């Protein structure tokens, strides 16, 4: 039997909060900031990927928290509770075909052009969607991991998420339904009744628990990755935050470190951020509207 799952197609800007059009002054100010650095460190957040049709959690009126009472899976709950893993993987299975098909937008492509022009010291992303890699970027640290990889929590074997999709299909023949809502990390909203018959894959090598190679809520970014990023900030000439509110400390700490080191800090983001009081420059505008206008010499 062939398993099918269907998601409604989502308008690309449905999850982008409202903002005023970028002004000529916005472009000139950000251009001056970029021109003032030989090697920039860039930190990107969910506000970059909303323009590719991927929702975020916190955006005013359009983020998942504003539209639903849904909260992301907790690390400890996932690890200790088989029913939580069943619910997560059922939702992720349905969402994967759409989530994995999203494409980079003009902002991802602009940042790749910066890398090719040797303007970037390093790119840090809080996103788990692999869109920077799809755009061609290679000098990237995925702060919270990537949903395109799955890790065994016992033997640490790594799997491609796309390969596991076929195994899920074979394990769950005939499982079929429609859902209109996709979540920021690639899963969907399903009822307990819908997921109760879904069968979960175990590690093919040791039988251990499989988990996306991402940092779930309640877990921590590993220390060597944090220290590596601190080194990049130290080596760079400034930090530019793009599309992140920085309300999660895992990203905010890098803004704090940049300021501690005396590095210039700029933010391009629609709406308030946790580091607004620290910045040399704040521009509130659509990322894809302003980044392609920045010239790299």
Detail the residues annotated as belonging to a binding site for NAD(+): 45-65, 126-129, 243-245, 269-271, 287
Helix (H) or strand (E) holding 152: strand 145-152
**Residue 171: helix, strand or coil by DSSP?**
helix
Name the burial class of residue 179, with classes exposed (0-12), middle (13-18) and buried (19+) by CB atoms within 10 angstroms of its CB.
middle
The answer to whether 53 and 105 have CB atoms below 8 angstroms apart is no
| Catalytic site includes residue 156 | no
Tell me how far apart the alpha carbons of residues 130 and 282 are, in angstroms, rounded to a whole number.
26
> Of 49, 73, 204, 75, whose CA–CA distance to 142 is shortest?
49
**Residue 168: helix, strand or coil by DSSP?**
helix
For the chain, give me the number of helices (H) and strands (E)?
A: 12, 11
Tell me how far apart the alpha carbons of residues 134 and 285 are, in angstroms, rounded to a whole number.
24
Tell me how far apart the alpha carbons of residues 114 and 297 are, in angstroms, rounded to a whole number.
10
Tell me how far apart the alpha carbons of residues 7 and 100 are, in angstroms, rounded to a whole number.
13
- Taking the alpha carbons at both ends of the chain, their separation in whole angstroms is 57
Q: Under 8 Å CB-to-CB from 91, ≥6 apart: which residues?
A: 183, 187, 188, 189, 190, 195
Among the listed residues 144, 148, 166, 277, the single catalytic one is: 144
Tell me how far apart the alpha carbons of residues 66 and 72 are, in angstroms, rounded to a whole number.
14
Tell me how far apart the alpha carbons of residues 92 and 81 are, in angstroms, rounded to a whole number.
17
Determine the distance from the C-alpha atom of residue 145 to the mean position of all C-alpha atoms in its chain, rounded to a whole number: 9
Q: Which residues are annotated as a binding site?
A: 45-65, 126-129, 152, 155, 203, 206, 243-245, 269-271, 287
Q: List active site positions.
A: 144
């Amino acid at each position: 039997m062939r398993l099918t799952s269907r998601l409604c197609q989502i308008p690309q800007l449905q999850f982008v909060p409202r903002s005023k059009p970028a002004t000529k002054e916005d472009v000139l100010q950000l251009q001056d900031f970029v021109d003032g650095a030989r090697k920039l460190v860039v930190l990107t957040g969910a506000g970059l990927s909303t323009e590719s049709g991927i929702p975020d959690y916190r955006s005013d009126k359009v983020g998942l928290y504003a539209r639903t009472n849904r909260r992301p899976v907790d690390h400890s709950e996932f690890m200790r509770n088989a029913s939580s893993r069943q619910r997560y993987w059922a939702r992720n299975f349905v969402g994967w075909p759409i989530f994995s098909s999203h494409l980079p937008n003009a902002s991802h492509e602009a940042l790749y052009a910066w890398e090719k022009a040797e303007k970037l010291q390093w790119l840090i992303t809080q996103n788990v969607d692999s869109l920077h890699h799809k755009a061609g970027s290679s000098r990237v640290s995925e702060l919270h991991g990537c949903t395109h990889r799955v890790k065994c929590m016992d033997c640490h074997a790594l799997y491609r998420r796309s390969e596991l999709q076929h195994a899920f299909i074979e394990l769950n023949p005939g499982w079929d339904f429609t859902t209109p809502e996709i979540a920021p990390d690639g899963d969907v909203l399903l009822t307990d009744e819908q997921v109760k018959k879904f069968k979960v894959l175990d590690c093919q090598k040791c039988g251990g628990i499989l988990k996306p190679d991402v940092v779930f809520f309640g877990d921590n970014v590993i220390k060597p990755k944090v220290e590596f990023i601190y080194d990049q900030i130290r080596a760079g000439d400034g930090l530019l935050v793009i599309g992140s509110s920085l309300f999660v400390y895992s990203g905010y700490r890098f803004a704090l470190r940049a300021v501690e080191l005396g590095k210039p800090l700029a933010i391009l983001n629609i709406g308030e951020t946790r580091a607004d009081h620290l910045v040399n420059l704040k521009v509130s505008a659509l990322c894809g509207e302003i980044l392609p206008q920045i010239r790299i010499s």
